Structure 1
Amino acid sequence: MSIKLRKAKREDSSCILKMLHDLGHSDGVAEIRTTESDLLTNIFSDQPVAYAMLILVDEKVAGFLIYSWKWATFTGQREMYMQAIYVSPEYRRNGVARSAMSKLASMASDSGCTRIEWYVVKDKTMNNGFYESIKSHVLEHMEIRRVAGG
């Protein structure tokens, strides 16, 4: 089985949107407002705010990764923020996510990043077991805060 990442192209946007909806539903997201236009504007424009990679298994689309860059205030280093990882159900439990994360980590390292961070859904035992198996850890001293609106 050949697993690789490929930089997503504009013409992949509808495929990514479908998988993004599948991810949202599996994560219990009540309302998914992201549109194909949002993907085109924010990922596939001249000045993207995030980047997408397709996860390919034997040249077939098996999932995606969306990531962006951030800067760490206290280390002064570039970091990667993984917005989302999704592997289609038929490709799960075959090392696809592990391989994709390893390739993403190599990309991050090659770009001078000192770490990758992401949010997880607390109650998704299978996902959290995977994240523990790749030696990631929960930041017990942090919590997510959000201001929403206008």
Structure 2
Amino acid sequence: MMLTKLEFCTYLRGSLPIIQQCCGFRTKFRKGRPRNPIGVRGKFKRAYMVEGEFVYKGEVLLKQSGLVNYPGENVGILKNNTLVAAKDGVVICTSEKLNPYPDSPLYERVKNGMTIHRQFWHVYPTPVHAKFKLVTETLDSNSFKKV
């Protein structure tokens, strides 16, 4: 038997803390301190990789609200402004002068002489070493014997 939210609250009328959690009667607790309801977790907006760490293609570098950190070389950006590694390599963070596109709202400010520095995240790709040799390079043409 499924109960609606209102029926559930009236069913548990004797226990006040449970009613406050399910119906959301209170928005602040003592001393005006806001608090998430029990069971609601944070968004985990943070840096997942640090500078100098090795990352693989597709790994999340950092999650952010808004565009605070900009993608650099070999770094992609998702719809929710999450920075993702586009290639395998080492993470590098730099502070660079911003050079916006003409359709950007910051373009006019930079054009008038304002310098804006932003943090960029780059992935420096590691060189790929040859792990295997071709069969034609290892065998001579004279090594085959006819039987």
Question: What TM-score do you get using the length of structure 1 for normalisation?
Answer: 0.20
Q: Which has the higher helix share?
A: 1
Question: What TM-score do you get using the length of structure 2 for normalisation?
Answer: 0.21
| Greater RCO (Cα-Cα under 8 Å, separation 6 or more) | 1
